[in-house]
């Protein structure tokens, strides 16, 4: 059986990949409970990839209830070495306009109460990971190269604020996040990125800006607007993934 080139974790708005020739779907049981759903094995542009919908294939798992440990462990157990995470986010700084694609390079974690490490039970030594640069440089560069090939206008860096959710943030919270140096706000970067690092997975993200963050324009944030922006943004994200395997 051919090696899995990489895995895609799909976020809000991406529960399937257009053009993916599905080979089979596999239920993976893990020591950390059940993943968000079966792992889809498929071929795209002649290369084999794996796909997992972070929030479930019917989008029914809120961000604070995603079993991040089971998801990452399942992919690792299948031989995956590289992961691309797709995530819908809010834009904070001026460059992060709705429908833009962003390849973030930093994270600030504001989440709490989530199972955030594999290194807690049965250890012979306390284990730490270097998380200075939370995203894999190799995969980030591959995404940026794919964006050039697909002629997609992506923002090449940014700091992702990972908040607890599932509610959206207040305008005052967004002011604080911007003061902290954040460009984007979302709910799923952590602990996903850290768990990937603990498993030695080459992990990077493509953030799709779905809306301006609270207080960044004069309009109320509506799910209808988010959906409309994601239709365009996720179409571009799919084009990025196709270029990544070419």
For residues 119-134, give the mean pLDDT.
87
Mean pLDDT on 164-171: 94
User: What is the pLDDT of the chain when averaged over all its residues?
Assistant: 91
User: Residue 18 — very low, low, confident or very high, per pLDDT cuts 50/70/90?
Assistant: low
Residue pair 181/192 in contact (Cβ under 8 Å)? The answer is: no
73 is in an annotated binding site: no
- Is 211 within any annotated ligand binding site? yes
Measured CA to CA, the distance from residue 181 to residue 107 in angstroms comes to 10
- pLDDT of 157 > 80? The answer is yes
Instruction: List phi, psi (to 5°) of 207.
Output: -95, 130
Q: What ranges do the domains of the chain cover?
A: 6-244
Across 99-104, average pLDDT? 96
DSSP H or E segment with residue 25: strand 21-26
β partners of residue 88? 208
Query: So what's the pLDDT on residue 242?
Result: 87
164 — pLDDT class (breaks 50, 70, 90)? very high
User: Where residue 44 falls among pLDDT bands split at 50, 70, 90?
Assistant: confident
State yes or no: 54 annotated in a binding site.
yes
Query: What CATH class has 6-244?
Result: alpha beta
User: Residue 67 contacts by C-beta under 8 Å, 6 or more apart in sequence?
Assistant: 32, 33, 34, 35, 36, 115
Beta pairing, strands 6-10 & 82-91: parallel
Residue with the bigger pLDDT between 45 and 17: it is: 45
% of the chain exceeding 90 in pLDDT: 70
55 labelled binding-site residue: yes
Q: Tokens in use for 68?
A: 């991040």
Task: Work out the pLDDT band at 15, boundaries 50, 70, 90.
Answer: low
pLDDT at 73: 97
* Range scoring the smallest mean pLDDT among 3-17, 33-47, 162-176: 3-17
- Does this model's pTM top 0.85? My answer is yes
State pLDDT tens for residues 176-226.
999 999 999 999 999 999 999 999 999 999 999 999 999 998 778 888 888
Query: Which strand (E) or helix (H) includes residue 17?
Result: none
Residue with tokens 């779907």: 25
Q: Give DSSP secondary structure letters for 38-102.
A: PEEEEEETTEEEEEEETTTTTT---GGG--HHHHHHHHHHTT--EEEEEEEEEE-STT--TT-EE
Nearest to residue 27, comparing CAs of 63, 78, 68?
78
């Amino acid at each position: 059986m051919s090696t899995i080139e990489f895995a895609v974790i799909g976020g809000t708005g991406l529960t399937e990949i257009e053009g993916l020739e599905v080979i089979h779907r596999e239920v993976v049981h893990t020591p950390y409970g059940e993943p968000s759903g079966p792992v889809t094995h498929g071929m795209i542009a002649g290369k084999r990839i794996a796909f997992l919908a972070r929030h479930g294939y019917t989008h029914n798992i809120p961000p604070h209830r995603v079993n991040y440990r089971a998801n990452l462990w399942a992919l690792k157990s299948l031989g995956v070495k590289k992961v691309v995470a797709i995530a819908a986010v809010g834009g904070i700084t001026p460059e992060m306009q709705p429908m833009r694609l962003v390849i973030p390079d930093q994270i600030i974690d504001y989440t709490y109460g989530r199972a955030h490490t594999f290194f807690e039970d049965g250890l012979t030594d306390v284990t730490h990971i270097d998380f200075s640069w939370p995203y894999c440089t190799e995969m980030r560069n591959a995404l940026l190269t794919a964006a050039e090939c697909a002629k997609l206008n992506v923002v090449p860096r940014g700091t992702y604020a990972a908040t607890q959710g599932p509610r959206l943030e207040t305008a005052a919270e967004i002011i604080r996040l911007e003061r902290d140096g954040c460009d984007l706000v979302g709910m799923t970067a952590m602990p996903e990125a850290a768990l990937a690092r603990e498993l030695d997975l080459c992990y990077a993200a493509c953030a799709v800006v779905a809306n301006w963050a609270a207080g960044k324009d004069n309009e109320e944030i509506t799910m209808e607007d988010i959906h409309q922006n994601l239709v365009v943004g996720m179409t571009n994200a799919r084009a990025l993934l196709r270029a990544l395997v070419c």
